[in-house]
Amino acid sequence: MKTKPVLTLEDIKMIAAAAEAEAVANNWAVVISICDDGGHLLWLQRMDGVAPISSYMAPQKARTAALGKRPSKMYEDLINNGRYSFLSAPELQGIIEGGEPIIVDGMCVGAVGVSGVKSTEDVQIARAGIAALKL
């Protein structure tokens, strides 16, 4: 039997605070979502002024990154490069850039999904949140 690390509420709050700080520092209104390794929502934060659709997109980006154990951009790139079959992948609805997995000791323990600004900026915010864990 193996053991693995899991996100605690303290970890989640730390990630969320760092992600929010990155967004605020750049004057970006976004939704920040954090999920566990099974894609279950643990945190959702919608900043003032962000488009309502982002409240749906951020959790799906996080879920996709967690279930795939890789950035959601990987799926977007596959599709854009002609691998259209990934459009029918089960349980993956956030197959666009903005979801980043949280990897601890080689294991995915969850993911952060951000939506509201350019996809590269969404990723910047997600990575800033994950960096707060000092892994």
pLDDT tens, residue by residue, 80-133: 999 999 888 888 888 999 999 999 999 999 999 999 999 999 999 999 999 999
Q: How many domains does the chain have?
A: 1
Contact 42, 10 (CB under 8 A): no
Residue 76 host element (H or E): helix 73-80
Percentage of residues in the chain having pLDDT higher than 90: 91
CATH number at residue 72: 3.30.450.150
Instruction: Let me know if residue 4 belongs to a domain.
Output: no
Instruction: Let me know if residue 3 belongs to a domain.
Output: no
pTM given for the model: 0.96
Q: Which structural domain range is residue 22 located in?
A: 9-131
Instruction: Give me the sheet containing 99-104, strands edge to edge.
Output: 41-46, 31-36, 107-115, 99-104
Instruction: Let me know if residue 74 belongs to a domain.
Output: yes
Instruction: Let me know if residue 66 belongs to a domain.
Output: yes
Reduced to 3 states, what is the DSSP secondary structure of residue 57?
helix
Q: Is beta strand 41-46 parallel, antiparallel or unpaired with respect to 107-115?
A: unpaired
Instruction: Let me know if residue 1 belongs to a domain.
Output: no
* Beta carbons within 8 Å of 81's beta carbon, 6+ residues apart: none
pLDDT in tens, 26-85: 999 999 999 999 999 999 999 999 999 999 999 999 999 999 999 999 999 999 999 999
According to the model, what pLDDT value does residue 91 have? 83
